[in-house]
Amino acid sequence: MSPRSSRLKVLAIVLAGGEGKRLMPLTADRAKPAVPFGGIYRLIDFALSNIVNSGYLKVVVLTQYKSHSLDAHITKTWRMSTLLGNYVASVPAQQRVGKEWFAGSADAIFQSLNLVHDERPDVVVVVGADHVYRMDFAQMVDQHVETGAGCTVAAIRQPIGLADQFGVIDVNPQDPRRIREFLEKPKDPQGLPDSPEEVLASMGNYVFSAEALEDAVRADSDREGSKHDMGGDIVPAFVRDGDGWVYDFKDNDIPGSTDRDRGYWRDVGTIDSYYDAHQDLISVHPIFNLYNEAWPIYTNYGPHPPAKFVHGSGDRVGHALNSAVSPGCVISGATVSDSVLSPRVKVHSFSHVTKSVLMDRVEVGRSCQIHRTIIDKGVFVPAGVHIGVDHEMDRARGFTVTDSGLTVVGKGTIIEG
């Protein structure tokens, strides 16, 4: 934490109520921030690790949609010593006042203002829970304090073709830290003056002065026509008042980062981007480096023995190449390549798993082929089954096949042999 921001009282709020429709079927029975990622993590571990590594230890996680496994993960993994008044508290929507669930992310904060009052922070850091990246929020808080802003939005350049998934920021050319216009998910945006094929996108991470945030979500709570959304309503209101500022993520300096992974940020909102982010982890020189011990990503995956690679039937040696294999896995006489395996995955003799993501306790029987496939927790693949090889067959079996040709097998799927 930098010296300037260390004198402030900071409360971190993690918005973790997203439904994640575009990640179906992985979000069929869990909130998007609880989706397993990278073998041993859940998506929310990245936001929470960034917060904790930034030195902020008072953290409220606002949950809502299918929050059971998210709550369980937070309780198991992120419980802190309360001795110093530090905590990561998971706050479900259904315990708040009012008849409705949270209408939108701003309503979630509005309904949780009592938590802000309890803490009396100077500054509130509000972050999303479904991105893979490293970021030191203290550096953003420093800028926020230096400019005297009410609201600062973290931003990164993204291809213009993705603009309709993001809040798009236009800055004042005379004062490039001031936002002139903020358009939430525009259909036809302008490119950047120095790079017409890119836009400056909001990362969905904000720093607010506590009072300014409270005033804004209160004013928004009964505003006619508001969707009570941070990106759609609150940030544009600050911008209209001339108090919206931008923090450029490229200025964020993470200890231990490499030339390759500096500035890495992935929105894993779709099956394709979720899959691509896995490939980023396992490339020979990873674009996202999980081995950076100076900025650890924390998680908890249970008491599993080391992964094991053994001879299976017919004297074949089980092996894995360009892959991340978690504890508790057994690769027996099978080949695994360019894949990510969560704990307790078993792959049996004569099977080939290529370019795939297998979650906790998936078991692949003998002589199977699994290619460009994501298999959710606990699925058993009977002997001889091919997945990701013939998409017609995959669809006939009830699997999801994306336009880009990835196959996804949902949790609890029973596969006929």
Q: Interface residues with ligand ADQ (CB under 6 A)?
A: 15-18, 32-33, 62, 64, 102, 104-105, 108, 128-130, 166-167, 184, 201-204, 229-231, 267
Sequence-distant (≥ 6) Cβ neighbours of residue 406 within 8 angstroms = 271, 272, 275, 372, 373, 374, 388
Are 86 and 78 within 8 A, CB to CB? no
Q: Is 185 annotated as a binding residue?
A: yes
CB of 340 to ligand ADQ, least distance (A): 22
Are 228 and 220 within 8 A, CB to CB? yes
Select 17 or 121, whichever has its Cβ closest to ligand ADQ.
Answer: 17
Select 128 or 388, whichever has its Cβ closest to ligand ADQ.
Answer: 128
CB of 195 to ligand ADQ, least distance (A): 18
Q: Is 253 helix (H, G, I), strand (E, B) or coil?
A: coil
CB of 332 to ligand ADQ, least distance (A): 39
CB of 104 to ligand ADQ, least distance (A): 5
Residue 298 Rama label (left phi>0; alpha psi -120 to 50; beta): beta
Which ranges of 257-369 does DSSP label H, i.e. alpha helix? 271-282
Q: Is 202 annotated as a binding residue?
A: yes
Q: Is 346 annotated as a binding residue?
A: no
Q: Is 45 helix (H, G, I), strand (E, B) or coil?
A: helix
Task: Kindly state the tokens that stand for 89.
Answer: 């508290």
Cα separation, 363 vs 398, in Å, equals 18
CB of 49 to ligand ADQ, least distance (A): 15
Select 167 or 312, whichever has its Cβ closest to ligand ADQ.
Answer: 167
Select 156 or 353, whichever has its Cβ closest to ligand ADQ.
Answer: 156
E runs forming strands in 237-286: 244-248, 265-267
Q: Is 81 annotated as a binding residue?
A: no
Select 129 or 406, whichever has its Cβ closest to ligand ADQ.
Answer: 129
Feature table: binding site: 167, 184-185, 202
- Residue ranges at the known binding site for alpha-D-glucose 1-phosphate: 167, 184-185, 202
